[in-house]
Structure 1
Amino acid sequence: MPTNKNAQLRYKILDRCFSNFKHKYTIDELVDEVNESLSDLTGKVISLRQIRDDIKYMRDRVYYNAPIKAYPFGSGRQCYYRYEDPDFSIFDNELSVDEVNNLRSTIDMLGKFRGTPANVWLEEVISNLEYRFNIKPNTESLIAFENNEQLKGLEYLSSIIDMTIHHQPVIIHYRSFKGKEQNAIIHPYYVKQYNNRWFVLGYNEKYHSLSIYALDRLLSLKKADITFIKNDNINFKTYFDHIIGVTLLDEQTPIETFVLRFNANRFPYVLSKPLHSSQEIVNIGDHTISIKVKPNNELRQLIFSYIPDIEVISPTWFREEIKQKIEENLKKYLTMQNDCIDK
């Protein structure tokens, strides 16, 4: 029997069925299992007779010597097929049943982003995984991710990722949050998502330092025909360990301990969803926690997202800063109230 591409695909599917000790596959179920994958991947189906021939071929001592045994199942003459040895596989370095299930879940999650302009590159990755491991994704809608498809700049994401991976310098046209436009040559080192936005960090030739750019503020980008300046100084595995978000204006900024008090209703939420990996309980009765981070704008935004359920206890300078911002904001509401009374 020739071991063509379709035959090898059938053997892989059968091998996984025989290795799965959590399910008892009858001969009809084996036919269905193989045809489900074959029809999706090749558009072809096979007969029950072909499955019986495949089992015979896999049992052949000359080829695989697979210990496939038929066990009585239910009433009548029905039986199920399984390897006698739970550790046996005709393929070396193949995935286990549990690993296949985990991979299927991963493909399901990645598939959420299929079809979006930002993730065309994912289509090829997922398709290759599906074909390589004969896995059909779940067609039910069971998982949802936060994903703002209307966010500007997503059309640049796949290009930025490719350029970062392949060490390709890039010329960007960028508009800052204040509306100032500029051109910059950067050598992309790292791409990160935070708060449903994408950022690229790279070496800026003009400032001779690391710069960060939000993709939703990009106006255009193109390849720069220059030699890539390699990153030899920054370890991005630990770069974000002591900050919230992505902004680190100066690596020499010291780490500080921020003590925060929450009201009784919000405190359990903060315990279940820590503000930072360094979070510790200072006084559970007083609903107080601490985090050890470097101050940045994202920290300030996080604090304000919890108002009025939060109070900054220390450091003093940060408590005063938050207090001043609250007072400035309160003036706007008081002014509006006075305007209404005057009228």
Structure 2
Amino acid sequence: MARTNIFEGDSFYAIFARETYKRLVSRKWITYADIMADHLGLSSPKELPCNVSDCEKYGELRKAFRDVVSSIVKEVGDGCIEEQGNNRNKSFRYKGENNNPLAAMINARVVKDLKKYWEFCQDSAGFFPDVWLEYYFADCQDLLSIKTRKKKGEQVISSSIDRHQTNIEYLPMLYESIKNQQVLSIDYKPYDEEMVTLIFHPHYLKEYNGRWHLLGYAEEPEPKEGVDLALDRIANKPREVYKREFVKAPERFYESFFKNRVGVSHHENCSPEEIHIRAHTLYIHRLMETKKLHESQETVLPFEEHEDGCYGEFTVYVEVNNEFIGRILQMGDGLEIVSPQNVRDLFRERVQKMAELYK
């Protein structure tokens, strides 16, 4: 049966077809080896591990290449594809007048992908804070449709995270301020401290455990990058500050800023360190392997029987902040800090204080 759209789907055939078409309409000479190298993420066909004909899925590549060429010829006419070389190393070049001869087929795929995305938005509305939907779908028929489906209980994706945090309605405005590089005046009230008014250059929004944080550059009380403002501690709606040059974040700053942290918080003079953790039950060990504490986590000892009991062990390289402590204590007696000693002592003191509450 003939394919309705050679570009549609995620099969190797469709992937090769899209890569072949992209190469052909560039009007450069191409070979099967060029397409295979693109597919494998190589910079040149010379980097292929073997002859292209011996590469995995070469048969799918030949079918896709043939069908793309055939579709172009059918649309543009004979002579639009130039060939040179022998069958073993033949190359092809497109020379037709139409720069995008299969545009209708490409656009049909795009439209279908957009429809799938729209359906996802409809089904997953319960996953996002209501404020996002109200802001981006305002005065839109889609919002009514989403609400109707939610009322009927027809949504199939949701989240257990509490979405009713104080000041959650500021999220869209803060997002737009970051995108538009708009300086803000923010009244901020930390716990047990006086309210301060900050001239703030917003750079980044981060959610952790149901709580949103705005991070950026604060001019006062001293210029500082990476200042963390918890959304629920903002005292009033942020105000725009005009005629003030926006200070951008240094390149890749927040990538390194969060690299060695679980969550968001940071304690002064706290540096990351390798922490050795023991899991005392198979369930907890498997849970920690499937829901890692941090991207640096590595299993150093599989769960098995030892002379002093059954356990498994892993390491993480992180700062010891509130979120890390909370994640470990959440597992109760299923997890134990083995080293370093200073971190082990910290947890022992925490556990002893907790135990005192239940005497």
Q: Same fold (TM over 0.5)?
A: yes
**Corresponding position of 1:19:** 5
1:303–1:110 distance in 2 versus 1, CA, 3 Å = same
CA contact (8 A) 1:171 1:183 kept: yes
Residues 224-254 of structure 1: per-residue CA shift (max 9 Å, x gap) = 233212223552234322211012356x854
The partner residue of 2:199 within 185, 199, 202 is 185
In 2, distance between residues paired with 1:118 and 1:108?
A: 13
What amino acid is aligned across from residue 216 of structure 1 in structure 2? D
Give the structure 2 partner of residue 29 of structure 1. Answer: none
**1:171: Cα distance to partner?**
1.1
Tell me the residue number matched to 2:250.
232
Task: Quote the sequence identity (%).
Answer: 21
Equivalent in the alignment of 2:334: 309
With over 3 angstroms needed to count, the CA separation of the structure-2 counterparts of 1:65 and 1:118, relative to structure 1, is: closer
* Matched AA of 1:266: I
1:222 maps to 2:247: no
From the superposition, tell whether residues 271 and 223 of structure 1 become closer, same or farther in structure 2 (CA, over 3 Å).
same
TM (norm. structure 2) is 0.60
Aligned with 2:254: secondary structure? coil
Structure 1: runs of 5+ lacking an equivalent: 1-16, 23-63, 67-86, 129-136, 335-343
Residue 209 of structure 1 pairs with residue 224 of structure 2 = yes
1:294 matches 2:319? yes
CA contact (8 A) 1:200 1:213 kept: yes
Instruction: Tell me the CA shift for residue 148 of structure 1.
Output: 2.0
Whether the 8 Å CA contact 1:110–1:126 is kept in 2: the answer is: no
In the alignment, structure 1 residue 248 sits paired with structure 2 residue 234: no
Offset at residue 213 of structure 1 (A): 0.6
1:171 aligns with 2:185: yes
Contact 1:259 1:290 in 2 (8 A): yes
Query: In 2, distance between residues paired with 1:202 and 1:317?
Result: 32
Mapped contact 1:111–1:126 kept (Cα < 8 A): no
Taking the aligned partners of 2:126 and 2:108, their CA distance within structure 1 comes to 26
CA distance 1:101–1:268, shift in 2 (3 Å): farther
TM-score by length of 1: 0.63
Q: Does 1:324 align with 2:354?
A: no
Aligned-partner residue type, residue 316 of structure 1: Q
Q: Which runs of 5+ in 2 are unaligned?
A: 10-73, 77-100, 143-148, 305-310
Return the alpha-carbon distance in structure 2 between the equivalents of residues 126 and 242 of structure 1: 42
Question: Judging changes above 3 Å, is the alpha-carbon distance between structure 1 residues 255 and 126 closer, same or farther for their aligned structure 2 residues?
Answer: farther
Q: CA-to-partner distance for each residue in 1:64-109, whole Å, 9 max, x for gaps?
A: 979xxxxxxxxxxxxxxxxxxxx95525555358734652454235
Q: What SS does the corresponding residue of 1:323 show, helix, strand or coil?
A: helix
1:112 aligns with 2:113: no
Q: Work out whether 1:198 is the aligned partner of 2:215.
A: no
Q: Secondary structure at the match of 2:197?
A: strand
Contact 1:174–1:182 (Cα < 8 Å) also in 2: yes
Change (3 A) 1:287 1:166: same
* Equivalent-residue separation in structure 2 for 1:268 and 1:126 (angstroms): 45
Distance of 1:125 and 1:194 partners within structure 2: 30
Counterpart secondary structure, 2:169: helix
Q: 1:146 is matched with which residue?
A: 160
CA contact (8 A) 2:161 2:209 kept: no
Moved more, 192-201 or 229-238: 229-238
The answer for the alignment partner of 1:159 in structure 2 is: 173
Alignment CA distance shift 1:236-1:109 (3 Å): farther
| Amino acid paired to 1:275 | L
Q: Which of 216-225 and 314-323 deviates more?
A: 216-225
